[in-house]
Structure 1
Amino acid sequence: MTICYAGGMFMSPSLESNLFVFALAAFLGYEVVRRVSPQLHTPLMSLTNAISAISVVGAIAVTGAGHNTTMVVVLGTIAVTASMIERGRRYF
């Protein structure tokens, strides 16, 4: 396994490719949701609520797994926090 040096920290090739896929998925998701017609916003929001709940469960599972490296814990905590903020934001 080759380790790449990027931005002052070492990154494995799998982490680098996973971050690349995440960035592409985030951009694509934003563009897809932005182009939805107003008639579809209510069904889309109910689907978004379900996906957000799945994200919370997945983030908790990853953070609580036996891979207790610092990066996993930090990214898992950020994922849980962001998902919970997104879930709570809809009620205010």
Structure 2
Amino acid sequence: MNLCGSSISTPPHYILLGADQRYYNSDTPGLFGGYKRGKIYGRLDCPSALRAIERGGYVKHRVFFANEETALAAGYRPCAICMPDKYKEWKSSYLKR
């Protein structure tokens, strides 16, 4: 039962960042996490991100994305640690600009 005494449970809501850099509610969790200050996104199990979270300074700047396309469209780059191949692709195309 929930707080209202009803046995109907509400699905969890997740706050994701969209391509337009606006937050929106989602019924499904994001597949990728990001660091807003560095404009980096990566896997949720990224060792570098997990170390930063453990130290505590990273959490308040954490964002989540539904997919890679959204992260890229929002101006984020792939993490060089957990996504080295995607990072190399991104860096190669970035340097050609």
TM-score (ref. length: structure 2): 0.26
Higher relative contact order (CA 8 A, sep 6+): 2
Higher strand content, 1 or 2: 2
Higher helix content, 1 or 2: 1
